[in-house]
Amino acid sequence: MVVRVATWNVNSVTARVERLVGWLDSAKPDVVCLQELKTTDEAFPAGQLADVGYQAATWGTGRWNGVAILSRLPIADVWRGWPDLPDFDGVAEPRALTATCGGVRVTCVYVPNGRELGHPHFDYKLRWLDSLTASVAEPARGELPYAVLGDFNIAPTDADVWDMSLFAESTHVTPAERAKLADLEAQGLVEVLPRALKYDKPYTYWDYRQLAFPKNNGMRIDLVFGNAAFAGAVRDAYVDREERKGKGASDHAPVVVDLDV
């Protein structure tokens, strides 16, 4: 059985619900992790998504974060965050949601941006990633296919940024952030996309400004880390660049992984 799993930072689910519904109809994913909902659980368009066959588990408070898992398969064992989830300014932000969909368990993450080096939010980002790593230790070594996927706000290598010289004093590319990805891998997770993608520079994010998308001035920051059972089942993967085109697009493209489970 093929299960199609996807992740997409939609940059406001209410602003992009028509595009989301259209993409679900064309791409036909079985499980979708969404980030940056920018809406509350109550205002989430669950009815429109149910009309096209998707259940939804959500965690949103109406600010500029929020995560959701959509599934055409039964959703079970839903967790919001995990024990000891760090907060920022006293708020536990809705940035992680875990669920089992059919025979696949996923953790949808929207990693803090970090803002700038030396900012308290950057320290929060590193603490948040440490907490994530601790939380995945058990499922990463389990027999059930398991993945952590979403907007990590980290480019894993210099090749994942269109021009590293522009990021010398910026977040997203620092050794400290990349070391946190290595910590995830040390728990038994591997990044599955480079093993499957068939073209160069598969960026997933392009700024709205300065014609970044037409110039392909992008970054690869939307990632999928799977345990052995998940990674071993990957048969294909792609970045859906077409969904980044046109009026009203998110600044991220969906990332899609097909599993043979």
Q: Is 151 annotated as a binding residue?
A: yes
Evaluate whether 202 touches 162 at the Cβ level (below 8 Å). Answer: no
Evaluate whether 170 touches 221 at the Cβ level (below 8 Å). Answer: no
pLDDT in tens, 52-82: 999 999 999 998 899 999 999 999 999 999 9
Q: Is 251 annotated as a binding residue?
A: yes
238 flagged as catalytic: no
Evaluate whether 24 touches 52 at the Cβ level (below 8 Å). Answer: yes
What are the residue ranges spanned by the domains of the chain?
Answer: 2-260
Strand partners, 76: 100
Write down the mean pLDDT value for the chain: 95
pLDDT in tens, 144-189: 999 999 999 999 999 999 999 999 889 999 999 999 999 999 999 9
User: What would the mean pLDDT of 129-141 be, rounded to a whole number?
Assistant: 97
Catalytic residue among 124, 203, 222, 252: 252
Phi, psi (degrees; rounded to nearest 5) at 245? -85, 155
Separation between Cα atoms, residue 226 and residue 213, nearest integer Å: 28
252 flagged as catalytic: yes
Dihedral class, residue 210 (left if φ above 0, else alpha if ψ from -120 to 50, else beta): left
Catalytic residue among 110, 124, 203, 205: 110
pLDDT at 197 over 90: no
pLDDT in tens, 239-259: 999 999 999 999 999 999 999
Q: CA-CA-CA-CA torsion for 254, 185, 66, 247, nearest 10 degrees? A: -20
pLDDT score, position 78: 98
Q: Is 9 annotated as a binding residue?
A: yes
54 flagged as catalytic: no
Q: Is 252 annotated as a binding residue?
A: yes
**pLDDT band per the 50, 70, 90 thresholds, residue 200:** low
Give which of 139, 137, 147 is closest to 4, Cα–Cα.
Answer: 147
What does CATH list as the number for 2-260?
3.60.10.10
**pLDDT band per the 50, 70, 90 thresholds, residue 202:** confident
pLDDT score, position 193: 86
Q: Is 36 annotated as a binding residue?
A: yes
| CA distances to 2, 98, 162, 215 from 235, in Å | 9, 23, 27, 30
Could you write out the three-class secondary structure of the chain?
CEEEEEEEECCCCCCCHHHHHHHHHHHCCCEEEEECCCCECCCCCHHHHHHCCCEEEEECECCCCCEEEEECCCEEEEEECCCCCCCECCECCCCEEEEEECCEEEEEEECCCCCCCCCHHHHHHHHHHHHHHHHHHHHHCCCCCEEEEEECCCCCCHHHECCHHHHCCCCCCCHHHHHHHHHHHHCCCEECHHHHCCCCCCCCEECCCCCCCCCCCEECCEEEEECHHHHCCEEEEEECHHHHCCCCCCCECCEEEEEEC
**pLDDT band per the 50, 70, 90 thresholds, residue 194:** confident
Catalytic residue among 124, 146, 151, 205: 151
pLDDT in tens, 203-245: 999 999 999 999 999 999 999 999 999 999 999 999 999 999 9
pLDDT score, position 195: 64
Residue identified by tokens 């036909």 is 28
Separation between Cα atoms, residue 101 and residue 259, nearest integer Å: 13
Read off the amino acid at residue 241.
R
